[in-house]
Structure 1
């Protein structure tokens, strides 16, 4: 049932401070808000390092960047600035102490937050009692903030808007690597959390087999701190005779990496932000999941994605977001995934048979 409002919604502030993948997954909510309130102005509050991700979004009037290094005084100044905007509705899609303070002290006459399932996720992790069988993707959970406005997820995935300059740079990188005019496969072998990393030699084997079968070029991507793993995959591919390969891990901005991913026919990725970016730019994705499971809500939100995981392990999930080590010290969730499984999933997507 739709809520009867006491006034018109003219200005909306949507809050998601971090992380990159989570911000990408909020973009369907932006569409839903604009559909429900077509005349409203939508602003977005996030950490300053993620402003560029939404800077070209046509439905977002202003992206507000908060620098957490400014501490409590910076937060106070932010709240003062937001009060001057006189927002009608604030939608908190983060729910941490900072976003709660912003929500309650920014002067909006309506505030909404989403169903985060924090306790249910911890019960699943600690006691293996699954109360999240119908929890859905975190995208659908975000929409719970808007259910009394009659706004719900329609199944459409996230989206990302990339500048022409970034697209041109991506094409130049591909051309300089001698990969123009070829089918391109992307590998994302790193992760900020070490127990989410599928062994690099298996990544290399999967990339090698797909490159040979489809006569494809290979692009290796990743963020800062992931260069060593990326170099290891690159070296193994070269040793296997794969000459058409380029490693751009740690060398590009978020949006430049996104532009490169937009040129690929397939992305094989650990559970990372680049996996979500791939779905947002329409690239088919093979996602490799280990310590986390579907119930946590972060599987790729796309009809053109396949997840490879080791089902049936009683120790999964062992964490909410991944960690630095396997608590059981056997790492079965990743070591029991063979390259052949990933290759088969990649073949299905490259052949258009992902049902």
Structure 2
């Protein structure tokens, strides 16, 4: 009998980054004989990995990295897969002493692109970069895209939504970690008017006030503000049942891609060229091209450095949602 191969995956960055690692988890488990997959992330991201059937053991960084290293050493890993490649992940990887593989973050090329607007980036999605990293282990991209697993208790029932939105709606993820990656309120309202269809707004409690403003202008018949009302897995369930998904560059965008939803994504201070656009799902990328100031940040910031915020204020809504054309509902 072949001995188990203990593999530790490290990723602490964000909801979206953890979702994007799911093909690596699946391919390692399915293609490497006797692989036992351990995953280490932050406690906030537990819902993303807790129900993934390809993961055998889960470990969490709660702030005490020394204690975490002590716990991980007891596992005697055969390989460490570092999908973040930051100081913390390098510290853990070095302390464990196992053979390791680390993602190429293209840090210098990112710096050239953001600071000097010189685009020397490889035209490669981050998922493909992750998978290329583990090729030496005999792993190939199976082409199946992203995974996201919702436990039964978090599957949203029809009657959890208002009658106007129970059976047919589009989802709009209005949140975003930084201001420069979100449409201003006036533009969100403009977008919802253009969609002219039942819309469920998704976001956390910090987005609820913005959602209330949209409802105030457009009415509860068209807009249901679910921000702060559902947990992450429940929001994922709402996305899974949506006809289409409109979203900023957020973790919910990648969750939508995991369910193969058509995604309309809006790009402000960052750009799809950085490699984080919707993966292996139909999508439309909407951005204000031709601005010399973009991208001003790879991760976003609290205000536009140029003070004009043209990337979002001038972003064109010139798309045609063919999937809704035959079922338009007038809310005026």
Structure 2 counterparts to residues 274-313 of structure 1, below 5 A:
274-313=252-291
Native 8 Å contact 2:287 2:316 kept in 1:
no
* Alignment partner of 1:189 is 2:174: yes
Query: Unaligned 5+ residue runs, structure 2?
Result: 327-332
> Does the 8 Å CA contact 2:269/2:294 hold for their aligned counterparts?
yes
Choose which of 11, 19, 26 in structure 2 pairs with 1:16.
11
Shift of 1:163: 1.0
Instruction: Tell me if the contact between 1:201 and 1:236 (Cα under 8 Å) persists in the aligned partners.
Output: no
Shift in Å, 1:316: 1.0
d(CA) in 2 for partners of 1:41, 1:267: 35
**What secondary structure sits across from 2:70 in the alignment?**
helix
Runs of 5+ consecutive residues of structure 1 not aligned to the other structure: 1-6, 69-73
**TM-score under structure 1 normalisation?**
0.86
| Distance 1:8-1:350 versus aligned 2 partners, 3 A rule | farther
Q: Deviations over 1:275-323 (max 9, x none)?
A: 1111122322100001111221111113311111112211111111111
Residue number in structure 1 paired with 2:46? 51
Choose which of 60, 81, 87 in structure 2 pairs with 1:97: 87
Partner SS state of residue 74, structure 2: helix
Q: Aligned residues, how many?
A: 325
- Corresponding residue number in structure 1 for 2:200: 219
1:226 match: secondary structure: helix
Work out whether residues 24 and 159 of structure 1, in 8 Å CA contact, stay in contact via their aligned partners in 2: yes
Deviation at 1:180, TM superposition (A): 2.3
Q: Is the 8 A contact 2:245 2:264 kept in 1?
A: yes
Report how far residue 170 of structure 1 moved: 4.5
TM-score w.r.t. the length of structure 2 is 0.91
2-structure distance, mates of 1:9, 1:62: 13
Moved over 4 A (4+): 349-352
Q: How does 1:146-295 map to 2 (within 5 A)?
A: 146-167=134-155, 169-174=156-161, 176-181=162-167, 183-211=168-196, 216-238=197-219, 243-295=221-273
Deviation at 1:351, TM superposition (A): 6.9
State the secondary structure of the residue aligned to 2:205.
coil
Separation in 1, partners of 2:324, 2:26:
29
Structure-1 separation of matches of 2:61 and 2:284: 35
Secondary structure at the counterpart of residue 266 of structure 2: strand
The alpha carbon displacement at 1:9 in A equals 6.4
Partner Cα distance (1:45, 1:321) in 2 = 22
Partners of 2:292 and 2:142 lie apart in 1 by: 33
On the 8 A contact 2:253/2:263 being kept in 1, the answer is: yes
1:4 aligned residue: none
SS at match of 1:158: coil
Deviations 1:116-145 (A, max 9, x none): 10110011111111111x341111111232
Aligned residue number for residue 330 of structure 2: none
Separation of aligned partners in 2, 1:331 and 1:145: 37
Q: Indicate conservation of the 8 Å contact 2:263/2:281, yes or no.
A: no
1:131 is paired with a residue of what secondary structure? Answer: coil
Structure-2 residue corresponding to 1:112: 101
RMSD between superposed Cα atoms in Å: 2.0
Work out the CA distance in 1 between the residues paired with 2:279 and 2:312: 22
Q: Are the equivalent residues in 1 in contact too, given 2:214–2:223 (CA < 8 A)?
A: no
